A and B are shown apart, each in its own frame.
Chain A
Amino acid sequence: MTGDIVQMGAYIGAGLACTGMGGAAVGVGHVVGNFLSGALRNPSAAGGQTATMFIGIAFAEALGIFSFLVALLLMFAV
């Protein structure tokens, strides 16, 4: 009985962890959107900043990946 409740809680928690994906989506979209709006204002400076954009994407995305990790831990490790 207790094991079933723990299992159920782990599955619910894994599902809730997926909301973290939304945060990562907002973050990555914000980075790329702002990059694009800046790049269209000054296209000649955009090329040099592509690397910076990817670094920003990577940092925003890392937290979404952490939520994925939490979901995986709940599904397979708990």
Chain B
Amino acid sequence: MATETHSELEDGLVFHPMDQFQVISLVGGDVEWFTITNVTLMMALTVIVIAFIMIFGARGRALVPSRSQSIAELTYGFIYKMVEDVTGKDGVVFFPYVMTLFMFILVANFLGLIPMAFTTTSHIAVTAVMAMAVFLAVTIIGFVKNGFGFLGVFWISSAPLILRPILALIEVISYFVRPVSHSIRLAGNMMAGHAVIKVFAAFAPLVLISTGIGLVVTPLSILAITAIYALEVLVAFIQAYVFAILTCVYLRDALHPHH
């Protein structure tokens, strides 16, 4: 369906808004599992940027931090405090994992906002791997730390006894929906935001096609792109934060299953 609307000028949509999410091989040929694609390139860039920020930023260790050192230290402190607050003192051992997830998603989201770049986190294939890893880790940690006492996470002892079986059923369902909602929240937010920008971008050249209506639509759509881009910068941070904090919430369930 994405190919149908190519080069059709009839309604101003000169490109399809979902075209930006296509995985393209950078070396030619078909996309195989080993092919270097735009996804591979953006992921490699993400890792390089994170390494640059964290290693070179924190290398100086000055008493009065420089700007780059401040970025590294503030991010570290922010996530450390979040893990400590949400998961508790004994959850701090999982801080490196949460920090890795947060930094990867944050930098991938921000790099995706550069015009003509590719947003790796907009693909459910990418976010589902991260969410499934969190889900499996939480389940395994829960059973290792608590044994079968981990099943107490489904049995809410503060509720009235009659309600508990019904609540247990709801809890079991919501437990297994976690990886789905965890991954789709991030991918959906990224995909929707970028698609909206592209929809308005398709309206912008309307002045070239029909001058009458274009004089009104073009400035409005360029204004809308600017506004939505500003919103997307905010969303890029909030979604990385939400992904990390939900990981902490799930880890707290695994460490302290009895609420």
Contacts and interface: CB of A to CB of B under 8 A. Distances in A.
A binds B: yes
B18 to A, nearest CB: 7
Given A75-B1, A76-B1, A76-B18, A54 B188 contact: no
Contacts of A55: 242, 245-246, 249
A51 B185 CA distance: 17
B245 A68 contact: no
B156 interface: no
A69 interface: yes
- State which size class the interface on B falls in: 10 to 19
Contacts, number: 40
Interface string B188-203: 1101100000000000
Contacts of A75: 1
B242 A69 contact: no
Nearest to A65: B188
Nearest to A59: B181
Contacts of B82: 51
Interface in A13-71: 48, 51, 54-55, 57-58, 61-62, 65-66, 68-69
B245 A54 contact: yes
A54 B242 contact: yes
Nearest to A21: B192
Interface string B214-234: 000000000000000000000
Nearest to B188: A65
Contacts of A76: 1-2, 18
B50 interface: no
24 contacts: A48-B85, A51-B82, A51-B86, A51-B245, A54-B245, A55-B242, A55-B246, A55-B249, A57-B242, A58-B185, A58-B242, A58-B245, A62-B181, A62-B185, A65-B184, A65-B188, A65-B189, A66-B184, A68-B188, A68-B192, A69-B184, A69-B188, A76-B1, A76-B18
Given A57-B242, A65-B189, 8 more contacts: A51-B82, A51-B245, A55-B245, A58-B242, A66-B181, A68-B192, A72-B191, A75-B1
